[in-house]
Amino acid sequence: MAAGGGLWNRRSEAGGRPPTRFLITLGAFGGASIIDSFLAVTDTEVSPQVGATLNVFPRNEVVASLDHPFRGVNRTAAPFFGETYVGNQGAFIDAHHGNMLVATQTGTSVNHTLGQQRSITGNGAWNGRTLQEAVSIHHGEGFPLPNVTMGALGFREDGADDSVPAWARAHSISDPQRWPLSLDGLHGIDDAPTRDVLEIARSVRDQSLDPHTRFTRTFLLSERLEAWKRMRGEDVPRLENAGLLEKLNFGLDDPSLPPFDPADRAALDAAFGHLTVDPLQMQAAMAYLLIKNGLSVAVTLSPTWNVETNPDATGEEHRIINTPLSFDYSHTQHRHTQTMMWRRMLNTLDPLIALLRGAQHPEAPGESLFDHTVIYVATDFGRTKNRPEGSLGFGTGHGLNNGNLLLSGNLLAGGTLLGGVDPSTALTYGYDPLSGAPMPGTEMPERVMYSGILQALDVDRSGSGLPAVPAMLPA
Amino acid sequence: MRLEASSFFVSLLLIACGGGPAGSSMTGTDGGESTGATAPDTSPTTAGSSSSADTDEPPEDDSDGGTDTSEEPPPPPTSPTANLHFKGPQRLENDLTAVLELDPEQLCTEVGGASCTQEVHKVALGGVAPYDLGIYTPAGIGATAPIAVDRLTLQACMRRIDLDRESSDPVLFAVPQLGGGTADIGDPSATAFIDALYTRALLRHPTEAETETLLLMHADIAVSDSLLPGRDWGVATCFAVLTTTEFLFY
């Protein structure tokens, strides 16, 4: 197991606090439907008349096991843009069912942005504070960039809680491949003055020029100016002195840059097939490196609306790799887009989990980072459940009723399904947050998911009024 | 050198705005609280040997303490609202290209040739990327923004200084070189260089203290590990002025 670490400065040794816990939020941008994956309904579970107008699958496309409560859809989306795309959820479940928790949920918005935002705030469950902000406040103090987002749209937005300190807000990364350049003022700049010269110039600026201007005196009360000076004085040296380029620069191969850690290079190359061209794989790689190197405790990633392509095996043709959402594919080709959506999510999660499993938690000898991480597959919303009678190429709309996939090495009740699905309607139903007992006829509000995730991450929720959800925790 | 024209326009602008170089900059009070009211002898008038020299002379009846007065200028009032904004990628690009007379594509590129302001550091500097990344509103300015600013400005200054060193008609930097790659900072062109940076970037002249500080920086660089201390002093001076908060915020 590779040793993580780096900027970890603290804790178990000094204060006896439990090891730091981490949250990775993977946004299933566009809406990932839980009945097109782990709660799939087969046509054999309903009458032919009902099944003909519901989003149910042929029995031979759904896999199940006595070892766990999850189902998986194994089907091929074909032909789709002239290509076939095989969705094999069963393989993912076989590999990870012991670390999976699926819980039902019914959202409150079918607007993409609002749905995404509410998926990370529990619909304003705690004064509008995002999950990531809450985790940062509890676990991230002292980390250079505790809360990093690479997600898009609503998954990227800050929460509405003004009491969240600035350092716990999300730090935005737009391009994981080149972002490490912004961690050092000099590396990679050809013919630049030496670092000594740069530091002399910075010192003159910060010590002799800036403090004495009328501008500074006039705007003495500016919080933005104060924050800028604080970042310059504290964050910049901290980031630069940590030698982060060689720890995070997985994407730029240039002789002017410090060489990337060879062990991490080998691990990333083994995990990801298209790290140089796939933005989501780049995000996942960066998520791993940020956590492993002790920079962050909450990392968010997601694809976007855009069509993204990968070279195929020959390197000559390009295949669409993300879920095409624009031009109404998601509304007119439900099965195919959901096959693509879940394929994309699971193909990102699988290598990410492998990396986290292979890295030792610096504060917990013998335990992996995955043991102390919750991965939350957030989604805008679900999809409507009906289809035209007998149609296989049907479209769906945005639907509130849905559920979510969570994963963890050791922080969740692995292998657990909370709630269930009513085959006669394909609608999910709720569960008792205390016992986990299924409760047909009920629906789970967003705040339960929100609270359960924070509880699994041991976040202090005192005074929040959030419900206890022990059903999500390990026995 | 082409200091004259820009200094002339800056002077006109400042005078038109009321006070300008006459009331503050020329006295060295626009930027420094602690300097006396003595006029710097490095104004564009003297530094640029310009035909526009006369226009840079401050009015004698300047009420804010013109060049002749020795009174300590009153400290500026502190703004109760202090509503400052960081310039962001587009304003920074616009201002740096104007100050340094560079094309946007000359300003700064990162490994691989991508633009600093339009691509690599755009979001870090408070920009948006609606089409490719779904970032419709500016993210907050985070801890990496000051480093991104430093990279942007350092590269822009390097371009300007290196172009000037090779040019027979330099835009900003015309300081003669001495032995060992040092710069002749006793030459009037050194103070003219500093003055031009201030007038172009901050629309004021440097105070005596600021000029002196930047000239003294040469000595530090000369004993550093720099192989081209004269050139690097030019870059460092440009960098220091163009990354002051006075330049970065509005």
- The answer to the question of residue B115 being in a domain is yes
pLDDT over 60 (residue B39)? no
Instruction: Confirm if A167 and A202 have CB atoms less than 8 A apart.
Output: no
For residue A45, the 8-state DSSP code is G
Q: Collect all residues of chain A within an 8 Å Cβ-Cβ radius of residue B230.
A: none
- The answer to the question of residue B103 being in a domain is yes
Percent of chain A with pLDDT over 70: 93
Instruction: Confirm if A381 and A109 have CB atoms less than 8 A apart.
Output: yes
Q: How far off is chain A from B51, nearest CA to CA, in Å?
A: 30
For residue A131, the 8-state DSSP code is H
**Which one of A153-167, B8-22, B124-138 scores highest in mean pLDDT?**
A153-167
The number of domains in chain B is: 2
- Stretch A413-437: mean pLDDT: 97
Residues sharing a CB contact under 8 Å with residue B138, sequence separation 6 or more, in sequence order: B88, B126, B127, B128
Burial of B112-146, coded b for 16+ CB within 10 Å and e otherwise, reads eebbbbbbbbbbbbbbbbeeebbbeeebebbbbbb
| ipTM of the complex, rounded to two decimals | 0.87
* Lowest-confidence segment of A71-85, B16-30, B165-179 by average pLDDT: B16-30
Is B240 touching A (CB cutoff 8 A)?
yes
Strands A398-399 and A382-383 turn out to be antiparallel
Supply the pLDDT for residue B133.
Answer: 78
**Which one of A16-20, B27-31, B54-58, B172-176 scores highest in mean pLDDT?**
B172-176
pTM score, whole prediction: 0.86
In one-letter notation, the amino acid at residue A393 is G
Are residues B103 and B213 located together in one domain of the fold? yes
Q: Which domains does chain A have, with CATH numbers?
A: 2-183+243-472 (3.40.720), 185-242 (no CATH)
- The answer to the question of residue B71 being in a domain is no
Q: Is A191 in contact with B158 (Cβ distance < 8 A)? A: yes
Instruction: Confirm if A64 and A369 have CB atoms less than 8 A apart.
Output: no
pLDDT in tens, A327-370: 677 788 898 889 989 999 999 999 999 999 999 999 999 999 99
**pLDDT mean across residues, chain A:** 91
Is the backbone peptide bond immediately before A144 cis, with ω within 30 degrees of 0?
Answer: no
**Which one of A16-20, A85-89, A254-258, A265-269 scores highest in mean pLDDT?**
A265-269
Are residues B122 and B175 located together in one domain of the fold? yes
Backbone dihedral angles phi then psi of residue A317, each to the nearest 5 degrees = -105, 160
- Examine the fold and report which residue of B56, B77, B97 is the final residue of a domain before the chain moves on: B56
Supply the pLDDT for residue A451.
Answer: 98
**Residue of B147, B151, B213 with shortest CB distance to A209:** B213
Are residues B137 and B216 located together in one domain of the fold? yes
Are residues B229 and B149 located together in one domain of the fold? yes
* Lowest-confidence segment of A12-16, A434-438, B26-30, B98-102 by average pLDDT: B26-30
Are residues B145 and B240 located together in one domain of the fold? yes
- The answer to the question of residue B144 being in a domain is yes
Rounded Cα gap, residues A353 and A345, in angstroms: 12
Q: pLDDT confidence of B134, banded at 50, 70, 90? A: confident
Are residues B150 and B106 located together in one domain of the fold? yes
Q: Is A178 in contact with B120 (Cβ distance < 8 A)? A: yes
Mutation site for A-interface testing, chosen from B245, B246, B247, B250 by largest number of A Cβ within 10 Å: B245
Are residues B92 and B186 located together in one domain of the fold? yes
Are residues B167 and B115 located together in one domain of the fold? yes
Supply the pLDDT for residue A17.
Answer: 78
* Lowest-confidence segment of A20-34, A155-169, B55-69 by average pLDDT: B55-69
Q: pLDDT confidence of A15, banded at 50, 70, 90? A: low
Packing angle of the helix pair B88-100, B229-242 (nearest 10 deg) = 130
The residue segments making up the domain with residue B176 are 88-248
Instruction: Confirm if A231 and B145 have CB atoms less than 8 A apart.
Output: yes
Rounded Cα gap, residues B143 and A227, in angstroms: 9
DSSP secondary structure string, A379-396? ES-EE--B-STT-SS---
- The answer to the question of residue B77 being in a domain is no
Are residues B191 and B131 located together in one domain of the fold? yes
- Stretch B117-127: mean pLDDT: 93
DSSP secondary structure string, A357-375? HTEE-TTSTT-BTGGGEEE
- Stretch A11-21: mean pLDDT: 69
Are residues B45 and B102 located together in one domain of the fold? no
Burial of A436-448, coded b for 16+ CB within 10 Å and e otherwise, reads bebbeeebbbbbb
Place of tokens 């629906």: A443
Place of tokens 């002195």: A241
Is B225 touching A (CB cutoff 8 A)?
yes
Mutation site for B-interface testing, chosen from A174, A184, A208, A241 by largest number of B Cβ within 10 Å: A174
Are residues B24 and B125 located together in one domain of the fold? no
3-class SS of residue A300: strand
Is B68 touching A (CB cutoff 8 A)?
no
Are residues B106 and B229 located together in one domain of the fold? yes
Q: pLDDT confidence of A140, banded at 50, 70, 90? A: very high
Is A174 touching B (CB cutoff 8 A)?
yes
- The answer to the question of residue B197 being in a domain is yes
- The answer to the question of residue B74 being in a domain is no
- The answer to the question of residue B69 being in a domain is no
Mutation site for B-interface testing, chosen from A191, A209, A260 by largest number of B Cβ within 10 Å: A209
Supply the pLDDT for residue B168.
Answer: 93
Instruction: Write out B59-71 in H/E/C secondary structure.
Output: CCCCCCCCCCCCC
pLDDT over 90 (residue A199)? yes
